[in-house]
A and B are shown apart, each in its own frame.
Chain A
Amino acid sequence: MTFNMKTAGKGFIIFSTAALALWIVPWICAIITAKPFSAPFTMYSPILHDFTYIDRSGGKALKLIDSKGNAHGDEVQPLFYYMVLTGRGALPKEIDGHKITPELVKKYRYSMSEKPQYVNAKPAPAQLLMESVPVRLELQDPEHAMIFHKDGLHIYEMNSNSEDKAKTEAFTKALADIGFKFPAKLTSGNPTHRKEFDEGYLLTDSAGRLYQLKMTDGRPEARHFSSADGISIKYISIVEISSREILGYVVDNDNVFYVLRPSGELIKTDAVWNPQKEKLYISGDLLYHTIKASDSDGERIYALRTSDFSFENKMERRYDKPQSFNICRYILPFRLYFVSGNDSYVKPRVKDFSWAGTIVSILAITGIIFWRRKRRA
């Protein structure tokens, strides 16, 4: 028994040491050899009708480079640098027939981002539910929370930590009456008082159909978006921006990007984004939406017209990352790691398989075994 346990212990220590080496050595190599890299900030210019990116090689002076390599000043992005241009008195009065004022620009200007790390995470089992029409007009911190179960939506009064039976019944009925199948599959809301207004939650039921739920005057207000029926939804995001022209974003299983209007109209765009693997950055203004989907290899940038989200332009950029000598590829068969930028889970993962590393590892292990046997002999 002792011999067996000793052998098992020896095997365990060898296995653990090998796993530790496969995990830590590439990590240390990456830290030592890493070189800085950042993708240039790119936006669609309503003046040039072309993408421009910020070139920081010239020091503090702002240079915007278009796709042909021409340099411009901030006047080619008047809806992004509108405060600076307004200060200089250089904000155009009109662009392509659209009237431009600082108030209008501010009303339509917003940005949002999303990361796979947050999409691929286990969400909290409860969501905060705020009053959308507060008595004192300004939005207040939520006092209620909602938890979806198979039998309905349970509403809790948070301060007393008890279920509000009346609200539970009312909210469950409101959703059930419009065909909601409990529990919810996806939910998206932004329950904070630091916004102008509240649109509650966008949610999909267990059948994958799209709904909106909010609390107005303490009562449920639920609606079903029949425009999204038939679409296999894998991502939703509520949008609460000053212009009130967008209610949310929807992405289907084919990664097609949709825009949901407050009227319930669902607009299919030409943009493609994989929420599970790519980062998203949206910069919207009065005339165009620049939508960037990126991963570690590159990015796709779409320009869509704000008026109807029709296609305007697209560019793709492969990241030309500075290559550093990766010694691990020549000494280790693969790389072991436990956390990824693509999700929030800890689990063993393997990448960077290398034949050269495998051969070197086998030779090294064989050498060690021979050396130890020879020493013993």
Chain B
Amino acid sequence: MKKMIFYKEWIKTRWYVLAAAAVLISGTAYILLGLGKAAQFKGNAFLWGYVIAHDSVLIEQLKYLPFILGGLLAVVQMLPELSGKRLKLTLHIPYPQWKTILLMCLYGIAALSLLFSVQAVAVSIALNQWIASELVCRIMKTAAVWYLAGFVSYIWVASVCLEPSWKMRTLLLVLLAGMARLLFISPVPEAYNGFLPWLALYSAAGLCMVFHGIARFKEGVQD
């Protein structure tokens, strides 16, 4: 049954996942090519100096991409469930309901993890050509919160999509805005280092909002 649920989710989202991969690859390639040109024309010392003296992480332009892609994946994956009473059918398959919903969410999280991991590895390999591994490590630690923002966006938007009442949807959107503000509040490198594990735990706990929405859907809550 697990395989079937994953397959169902893949059928629903395959074109989006491929498109997201294309956007991520092209966006990353664009930024890295720009950095490569800068290194070629001005020397690697220019990039070193930028990271050390200007507190830059070189890939700032990529910071909102995981957040956007995460939110869109949730829309693409969860919105079809709401049309044509498909969610009711999903909840009636011979498998525990909470496991079904959990597996659906895990599929999305796995898909995002794969996309983000590939991007992070590609960026690390490319940056290692121009700057020391200690500086690459600092950049990737700084970028970790952007990837977390991608998962947060996915979980919160999935909750909004599966929530039956507009009042609650509005509240969840306000909470999402607050989370977005918190996750992008500081551009300083490694500013989130100590707080990031707690933020990750809190974000993972956000999955219970999805189950809250499903329970309300089953109860027939409406505006």
Chain A positions within 8 Å of B195 at CB level: 345-348
Number of residues in A with C-beta < 8 Å to the partner?
41
**Extra pairs beyond A20-B175, A128-B52 (17, CB < 8 Å):** A3-B215, A6-B211, A9-B211, A12-B209, A13-B172, A17-B171, A20-B178, A121-B188, A122-B193, A124-B51, A128-B48, A156-B132, A158-B45, A159-B45, A339-B185, A344-B186, A345-B186
A291 → chain B closest CB, angstroms: 27
- Asked if A143 contacts B132 (CB within 8 A), the reply is no
**Sample of 5 A–B contacts (CB below 8 Å):** A2-B215, A20-B174, A126-B51, A159-B44, A348-B195
Q: Is A191 an interface residue (CB 8 A)?
A: yes
Interface magnitude class on chain B: 35 or more
User: Closest residue of chain B to A20, judged by CB?
Assistant: B178
Q: Given A5-B211, A339-B186, A344-B186, A17–B175 Cβ distance below 8 Å?
A: yes
Of B73-81, B114-122, B134-142, which stretch is located at the interface?
A: B134-142
- Asked if B192 contacts A142 (CB within 8 A), the reply is no
- Asked if A346 contacts B185 (CB within 8 A), the reply is yes
Q: Is A145 an interface residue (CB 8 A)?
A: yes
Q: In the bound complex, what is the Cα–Cα distance between A142 and B48 (angstroms)? A: 10
Q: Is B110 an interface residue (CB 8 A)?
A: no
- Asked if A5 contacts B215 (CB within 8 A), the reply is yes
Chain B positions within 8 Å of A338 at CB level: 182, 185
* Complex partner residue of B52 from A3, A127, A339, A344, CB under 8 angstroms: A127
Chain B positions within 8 Å of A128 at CB level: 48-49, 52-53
Q: Is B26 an interface residue (CB 8 A)?
A: no
Chain B positions within 8 Å of A40 at CB level: none
**A interface with B by C-beta (< 8 Å):** 1-3, 5-6, 8-10, 12-13, 16-17, 20, 23-24, 121-122, 124-128, 141-143, 145, 147, 156, 158-161, 191-192, 338-339, 344-348
Q: Given A161-B129, A344-B188, A16–B212 Cβ distance below 8 Å?
A: no
Chain A positions within 8 Å of B208 at CB level: 5, 8-9, 12
A162 → chain B closest CB, angstroms: 9
User: Closest residue of chain B to A143, judged by CB?
Assistant: B45
B19 → chain A closest CB, angstroms: 31
Q: In the bound complex, what is the Cα–Cα distance between A346 and B218 (angstroms)? A: 39
Chain A positions within 8 Å of B135 at CB level: 124-126
